[in-house]
Amino acid sequence: MDNLENVFRMFEAHMQSYTGNDPLGEWESFIKWVEENFPDNKEYLMTLLEHLMKEFLHKKNYHNDSRFINYCLKFAEYNSDRHQFFEFLYNQGIGTKSSYIYMSWAGHLEAQGELQHASAIFQTGIHNEAEPKELLQQQYRLFQARLTGIHLPAQATTSEPLHSAQILNQVMMTNSSPEKNSACVPRSQVTRTFIVCCIEIRNVAGQPLWLPLLSSIDTVPCA
């Protein structure tokens, strides 16, 4: 640990004299080096992530950077109260445009049985037009299906919520995803019908809660 602390002091000295325009890139390289050379030292990695969070907390140009989001999600895994941590991020404006934050947040709440709250988080992300939109909407539909027992079309490959590792893997793939097929039917020709219904669930105290469910059907004109 002493050697790692010495290395970190050297890194801090390097950052103090750094004059480039992407300090997060320097942190990214350093953390990758630590993960590759000390893969079992989770405690030190948590300390590094905590330093990184403090360093970039008020740098708004990084608040929706996919790299910073990735580190926020990693740091969330070390927090005993993930809901409070995600709430803190949201209040700071961090990840408000990232679907991965909302999916991880809602997934945690669902695992805790906070279904109404999880639904609200999904809806907040959709309202904020978080990216990628299609993935967030798909995960919300799967969440709704788990509550109602409705089977979705074949293209929905899983009815289970994405785990943290799956979300982390997808964060870094976002920028490298291929462009959509330009031959798709123009949005102006698609009619979307929204269906809103409510189901009754009960909390741990046995009190009824009404959970709104939103579905949509797209109608494409025939050629």
pLDDT recorded at residue 148: 86
Q: What is the mean pLDDT of the chain?
A: 80
Q: pLDDT tens-digit profile of 16-39?
A: 999 999 999 999 999 999 999 999
Confidence band, pLDDT 50/70/90 cuts, at residue 179: very low
Please report the pLDDT score of residue 168 as a whole number: 61
pLDDT band at 4, cuts 50/70/90? Answer: confident
Question: 94-151: per-residue pLDDT in tens?
Answer: 999 999 999 999 999 999 999 999 999 999 999 999 999 999 999 999 999 998 875 5
Per-residue pLDDT, averaged over 76-105, amounts to 96
What is the pLDDT at residue 36?
93
- Does residue 160 have a pLDDT over 90? no
| Overall domain count for the chain | 1
The CATH number linked to 10 is: 1.25.40.430
Residue 61 has pLDDT above 70, yes or no: yes
pLDDT at position 3 is 81
Range of the domain at 17: 1-56
From the list 151, 220, 146, 160, the residue with the least C-alpha distance to 188 is 220
Which positions ≥6 away from 216 have C-beta within 8 Å? 192, 193, 194, 195
Is residue 1 in a domain?
A: yes
In a domain, 154, yes or no: no
102 in any annotated domain: no
Within a domain: 216: no
Whether pLDDT at 187 is above 90 = no
Q: Residue 116 contacts by C-beta under 8 Å, 6 or more apart in sequence?
A: 201, 209, 211
Question: What CA–CA distance (Å, rounded) separates 72 from 79?
Answer: 11
Instruction: Please give the share of the chain, as a percent, with pLDDT higher than 70.
Output: 66
- Residue 7: inside a domain: yes
Q: Is residue 173 part of a domain?
A: no
Across the range 143-166, mean pLDDT stands at: 64
Average pLDDT over residues 168-186: 50
- What single-letter amino acid sits at 15? M
